[in-house]
Amino acid sequence: MSHRFAYNRMELAGSLGDLGTLLPITIAMILVVGLHPTGIFISIGLFYILSGSYFGITVPVQPMKVVGAYAIATGMQPSQLVASTLLMGVLLLIIGATGAIETIRRQTDTSVIRGIQLSTGVMLMTGGVKFIMGTSNLQIMQNAVEPSLILQAIGPIPISIILGILASLITFLLLDSRRFPAALMVILAGFTTGITLGRGIDIGVGNLGFHLPQILPFGIPALPDFTFALFILVLPQLPMTLGNAVLAYTDLSHKYFGEKAARVSNRKVCISMGLANVLSFFVGGMPLCHGAGGLAAHYRFGARTAGSNIFIGLFFLLVAIIFGDKSVQLLNLLPLSILGALLLFAGVQLALTIMDLKRREDYFVATIMLGITLASNLAAGFIAGIIIAKCLKWERFSI
């Protein structure tokens, strides 16, 4: 069991590597949609701990981005969002338990999986740069490049650019340091900046204690909520989840961990996410998944065992239990540009997985998937990639 869990600075640093993806969407779900922080953070913490303990390696936890983006953009009702959480959980359980995911995998070429990883990596890099530039949806929505800071610019230069460049330099210089792990130093610097230049937080000493999530805090969604969630949220999200959070993630786990990832299979990953979303539904949480981008982030910043999952899982559980619904204010201390720097480096790590392709046709599939993804979304890129890869097997098609 010892090789499955390690508790050291590198595991701690690696556990923080994917906060750039996780925190902004989660915080926006709380602020815009009205979800309860206690339920969200407890479901995230439990998912980290249980999935890491079962698979025995570093396992990422991420929000489902199609659902998140639409929910944040439209400010939908919480009942509609939690309906999508339950539907996604049930569908993933069915796809995993019946073995349908293996049929999908057999129809998916390696070039398509690399295309998913390339596209996700570029999207992470783009998201990171937006956080540093102060142009992400969350920053625009709050009309500030760093909503948690009292200082928004130094002269004509936005403070987010200054912080983002400094965080990127620290990350670059310490990327392979074991004494001062990059992600740990950057996150500590970020919280120090938030405390020093922040607007202050009111967590209320009287609110500290033992908080547990409500069960079905928004009640049982009505039939119209489930109908809306199925067609507007779940069906557009599903191809992206199967492509990135199952096929690409499983492939990357075996690429990084080899025999240690023996338990990671497409079916088990589907079932893992399905069970997590059913749990998340009951505590009023958002749809959760694994993901190739999250794994690349954790791995690049030092995570090698399930110990990283225990670190980050306990962090979210303790924050939720001690601070309750005030926990979001604590996490808001972390400047978005700091998270952007982590996203940028994680995206590069994931995009570079394309380098093991050898045929011109494979590079063609991966790069055209990137173009389609950037013009529309990853689900469209995934479907188009499967079709194009099949066409290139015919002799009449050549590039």
Predicted confidence at residue 43, as pLDDT, reads 97
Predicted confidence at residue 88, as pLDDT, reads 97
Give the CB-side neighbour count of residue 139, counting CA atoms within 13 A. 24
Predicted confidence at residue 176, as pLDDT, reads 87
pLDDT grade for 2, boundaries at 50, 70 and 90: low
The token pair at 246 is 């199952």
The neighbour count for residue 114, using CB atoms within 10 Å, is: 25
For residue 327, give Cα distances in angstroms to 18, 188, 286: 19, 18, 17
pLDDT in tens, 328-356: 888 888 999 999 999 999 999 999 999 98
pLDDT grade for 38, boundaries at 50, 70 and 90: very high
pLDDT grade for 203, boundaries at 50, 70 and 90: low
Predicted confidence at residue 102, as pLDDT, reads 95
Predicted confidence at residue 396, as pLDDT, reads 74
Whether pLDDT at 171 is above 80: yes
Predicted confidence at residue 198, as pLDDT, reads 83
Between β-strands 157-158 and 153-154, what pairing exists: parallel, antiparallel or unpaired?
antiparallel
Of 308, 312, 299, nearest to 257 by C-alpha is 299
Predicted confidence at residue 204, as pLDDT, reads 61
Among 70-84, 237-251, 266-280, which is the least confidently predicted range?
70-84
Furthest C-alpha separation in the chain:
73
Predicted confidence at residue 98, as pLDDT, reads 96
How would DSSP label each residue in 37-65? HHHHHHHHHHHHHHHHHHH-S----EE-H
Predicted confidence at residue 72, as pLDDT, reads 85
pLDDT grade for 302, boundaries at 50, 70 and 90: very high
Arithmetic mean of pLDDT, 264-288: 97
The token pair at 299 is 């791995």
Arithmetic mean of pLDDT, 282-302: 95
Range list of H helices, the chain: 9-15, 19-28, 37-55, 65-74, 78-97, 100-106, 110-133, 137-141, 159-174, 182-197, 223-228, 235-240, 249-257, 266-282, 292-300, 307-323, 327-331, 336-351, 360-375, 378-391
Highest mean pLDDT, choosing among 43-47, 117-121, 374-378: 43-47
pLDDT in tens, 277-286: 999 999 999 9
pLDDT grade for 40, boundaries at 50, 70 and 90: very high
The residue type at 178: R
Whether pLDDT at 178 is above 70: yes
Of 118, 30, 29, nearest to 357 by C-alpha is 118
Give the SS3 label for residue 16: coil
Arithmetic mean of pLDDT, 362-378: 94
Predicted confidence at residue 205, as pLDDT, reads 58
Predicted confidence at residue 46, as pLDDT, reads 98
Tokens 């967590």 found at = 203
Is the distance from CB of 138 to CB of 160 less than 8 angstroms?
A: no
Rounded to an integer, what distance in angstroms lies between the CA atom of residue 4 and that of residue 382? 33
The residue length of the chain stands at 399
Predicted confidence at residue 234, as pLDDT, reads 94
Tokens 């188009």 found at = 384
pLDDT in tens, 73-102: 788 899 999 999 999 999 999 999 999 999
